[in-house]
Amino acid sequence: MFKKILIANRGEIAVRIVRTCAEMGILSVAIFTDPDRFSLHVKRADEAHFIGDDALAGYLDPRRIVDLAREAGCDAIHPGYGFLSENDEFARICHQAGIAFIGPASEVIAGMGNKTHARASMIKAGVPVTPGSEGNLANKQEALTLAEEIGYPIMLKATSGGGGRGIRRCDSADQLDQAWDRVISEATKAFGSADVFMEKCVVDPLHIEVQILADSHGNVIHLFERDCSIQRRNQKLIEVAPSPQLTPEQRTYVGEQAVKAARAVGYENAGTVEFLVRDNEVYFMEMNTRVQVEHTITEEITGVDIVREQIRIAAGMKLTYRQEDIMLHGFAMQFRINAEDPKNDFLPTFGRITRYYAPGGPGVRVDTAIYTGYDIPPYFDSMCLKLVVWAMTWDDVLERGIRALNDMRVQGVKTTAPYYQEILRHPEFRARRFNTGFVPAHPELLNYSEKRHPEGVALAIAAAIAAHAGL
């Protein structure tokens, strides 16, 4: 087993990894740039090393991170999610330096990161994919011709894309003509590649993803699925595990397809196979070669520490579990609490957290790196915490979610929490009838009251009195 792991990330996922390292008796090493000097992951790790003034550059420099890991005496690096987690060059440099990369091999990352290569691999393995281009599109005219053949609407996607970027839905030839240059530009800026491909747009499907684990001894299992259909502009907001909408037969099928996909590409470590489900049709969408933001809810319904399994697999050990050991227990729901103002087109509201109170009680988990007095920097993602609730029944997890969201206090910035309460109260969501079109179909949910909680009013009055007394 490893003795010391460098965490090539920041924020809540870095804190999450630190905790599992501590439970496994492994020393943890944090890295940070200037805006993160006072971040919680820096305080919680056994060691912390400064990697530069620039907010992002240090987190995106694979050679510097690997050199620092060697200097600190680390024998492994955990990339978390985002940043370099799906960077095949980073995985390769780690291997060359004799440091274990806690993730799949660089060749697998490169193959699955290229969406057209991933589609070809799935077709060869017999995993169903949506109709679309066989490879990258050569030019706009080829795109227009193919779109007429497969029928609108279509999705134009960056081959190396991810995280909802480099994607445009086109409902007509005119929209495709207008979107082409925009997608090319966005893909080039975000991913360093101008390659794009096309897929038939599956209208308002369920977005279902299956968590898999695979070791170097030929063992591959799935930990059931998550329903990520509540999203805005391809960005996930609320995730549920398991999906309350799949039949037992569909659940078995997507699990089997995910395992088949992992075996087809020789996958090792934790990964996620994503599908679009419409009626009784299931299509492969992509494979994420890292731990997911929403891995928390899978842990809650299965009892499996996914980060622990990642570390064990990277150390050459066998999976702790067999497929028959994985049992479903109740429902779990994750809310991405973003520092955004839903009423102002979800504009980020970076700034100081003046008061923070974490919710608690049975079935409540919070993964975060914020605290009272913490300044949310404007250089990174706007997510400030993940609130996770669990209960044995669907109705109970809804009520627990409402209660936990109401218990939580994040003051100083606006967050998405009030908006999520409206979603949980909506009759269609409560009746388990939702898909990727739910959020755009219900703009009225943004008409929630911004009336302050009594506690917030009391704090505002106290602040006003203190300010007056100081004059």
CA distance 231 to 322: 32
Judge whether 29 and 74 are in contact, CB under 8 Å.
yes
Provide the 10 A C-beta neighbour count for residue 225.
Answer: 27
Instruction: Indicate the fold that domain 4-102 takes in CATH.
Output: Rossmann fold (3.40.50)
- CATH 3.40.50.20 positions along the chain are 4-102
CA distance 341 to 314: 40
Structure tokens at 123: 């077709």
- CATH 3.30.1490.20 positions along the chain are 131-200
Question: At a CB cut-off of 8 Å and minimum separation 6, what does 347 contact?
Answer: 340, 341
Q: Look up tokens 């809540």; give the residue.
A: 12
> Can you list the positions of beta strands (E) in 81-152?
100-101
3-state secondary structure string across 370-389? CCCCCECCCCCCCEEEEEEE
Confidence (pLDDT) at 454: 53
Question: Which H helix or E strand runs over 153?
Answer: none
Sign of the alpha-carbon dihedral angle for 49, 54, 59, 60 = negative
Half-sphere exposure of 380 (CA within 13 A, CB side): 27
Residues of the chain with confidence (pLDDT) below 70: 162-164, 451-471
Terminal Cα distance for the chain, rounded: 61
pLDDT in tens, 13-31: 999 999 999 999 999 999 9
CA distance 402 to 56: 35
CA distance 8 to 1: 19
Contacts 24+ apart (CB under 8 A), 248-256: 250/277, 250/280, 250/282, 251/224, 251/225, 253/282, 254/208, 254/210, 254/225, 254/282, 255/210, 255/222, 255/224, 255/225
pLDDT in tens, 102-119: 999 999 999 998 888 999
Confidence (pLDDT) at 456: 56
Global confidence as pTM: 0.91
Structure tokens at 210: 């299956």
**3-state secondary structure (DSSP) of residue 62:** helix
Structure tokens at 177: 């003509």
- 218 forms beta bridges with none
CA distance 450 to 64: 46
* Active site amino acids: 290
Confidence (pLDDT) at 134: 85
Judge whether 55 and 380 are in contact, CB under 8 Å.
yes
pLDDT in tens, 252-283: 999 999 999 999 999 999 999 999 999 989 99
Judge whether 309 and 319 are in contact, CB under 8 Å.
yes
- Give me the amino acid identity at 295: H
Please state the CATH superfamily assignment of the domain spanning residues 131-200 in this structure: ATP-grasp fold, A domain (3.30.1490.20)
**3-state secondary structure (DSSP) of residue 430:** helix
Confidence (pLDDT) at 356: 97
Instruction: Indicate the fold that domain 206-454 takes in CATH.
Output: D-amino Acid Aminotransferase; Chain A, domain 1 (3.30.470)
